[in-house]
Amino acid sequence: MTIGVLALQGSYNEHISALRRLGVKGVEIKKPGQLDNISALIIPGGESTTMAKLAEYHNLFPALREFVKMGKPVWGTCAGLIFLADKAIGQKEGGQELVGGLDCTVHRNFFGSQIQSFEVDLSVPELSAQEGGLPSFRGVFIRAPAIVEAGPGVEVLAACPVSLKTTSSKSDADTQELSFSVIHISHSTVIIAFRNCASYLMIPVDPLFCGYPVFHIIVESLPEQKVIVAVKQGNLLGTAFHPELTGDTRWHSYFLKMLAKENEPAPTTLAAVEGGVDLTAGQTPEIEMPIYQ
Ligand SMILES: NC(=O)CC[C@H](N)C(=O)O
């Protein structure tokens, strides 16, 4: 059993390190043919537009789609989650190709720009039920996406509170005046972006909102909002955050168990991948990860 990590760009070395901490060898995947030799694939975080351009250049999209269609386990983290989504919003002009398969709409930079990156403890009941340990997981969000819509077959594994900060001078007021833009409308949800506080709010569709790109509204005592940041659909796993940048390997071990459930023996030392970059020869990836505990 071999675990591939798409190694075009982003945090693939970090995933390979995390797998190694579990005693499992990960191999770099850079070419379509290398997918034939692996049992499961991790698509790492990075920058999804760049990664998509590289994947296109190496003609990887048809093989990646085929891999997903075959039902083999695939885990997308952050940019990798964007890759796996059936639909992405907030893309650069001209859009970007997606692998798809995950019945979700992902907002590419939901939490804002690079400087709005953050860490937060997420409640992860399903993960801790299966893997043990704390009921929470330290989510490292780097210019992170979020899942703004999920289909009926998608299991939500974690959601992140979305705070509505405001620059209003009436800090103790229950009522705040905020201007916003509608950035996404679907049959069930409207997402609005607040102009002065880089926050988002998801609200049920109200026909009143449709057709007006910019509003000025009064928001009264807004309830706490949560946005989905980890999902599972069959053999597809998606996380908007970066477990490979923490010392906690539970998401990796959770993913490996998805593979084990496919009636394959538990992962041990893995054979070299023909045509792939094999890390079994006592080599270590060049970059040892900073581990945030
Ligand atoms: N850390 C990440 O992978 C960030 C992903 C980034 N939002 C993108 O569009 O690619």
What's the CATH code of the domain at 143? Answer: 3.40.50.880
252 and 168, same structural domain? Answer: no
206 and 61, same structural domain? Answer: no
Residue whose C-alpha is closest to residue 150's, from 75, 228, 76, 84: 228
Residue whose C-alpha is closest to residue 7's, from 37, 40, 46: 46
Element (H, E) at 259: helix 250-260
Q: Distance between CA 119 and CA 21 in Å, rounded?
A: 22
In a domain, 287, yes or no: no
| For ligand 1, mutation pick of 93, 109, 116 (most atoms within 8 Å of CB) | 109
Catalytic residue among 15, 107, 184, 242: 242
Q: Which of 202, 223, 244 is at the close of a domain?
A: 223
Residue 141 CA: nearest ligand 1 atom is 1
To the query of whether residue 78 is one of the catalytic residues in this protein, the response is yes
Ligand 1 contact, 79 CB (< 6 A): yes
Element (H, E) at 239: strand 236-239
Ligand 1 contact, 109 CB (< 6 A): yes
Residue 190: give the domain boundaries.
Answer: 164-223
Residue with the smallest CA separation from ligand 1 atom 5 is 79
Three-class secondary structure of residue 31 per DSSP: coil
146 and 58, same structural domain? Answer: yes
Res 292: pLDDT: 42
Contact 103, 150 (CB under 8 A): yes
Residue 48 CA: nearest ligand 1 atom is 10
To the query of whether residue 244 is one of the catalytic residues in this protein, the response is yes
Catalytic residue among 14, 15, 28, 78: 78
Q: How many structural domains are present in the chain?
A: 2
Is the pLDDT reported for residue 269 higher than 50?
no
Res 167: pLDDT: 36
CA of residue 48 to ligand 1 center, whole Å: 6
Ligand 1 contact, 240 CB (< 6 A): no
Tell me the helix, strand and coil percentages in the chain, rounded to 5.
20, 35, 45
Structure confidence by residue, pLDDT tens digits, 6-31: 999 999 999 999 999 999 999 999 99
To the query of whether residue 177 is one of the catalytic residues in this protein, the response is no
Res 262: pLDDT: 73
Structure confidence by residue, pLDDT tens digits, 91-107: 777 778 999 999 999 99
Ligand 1 contact, 146 CB (< 6 A): no
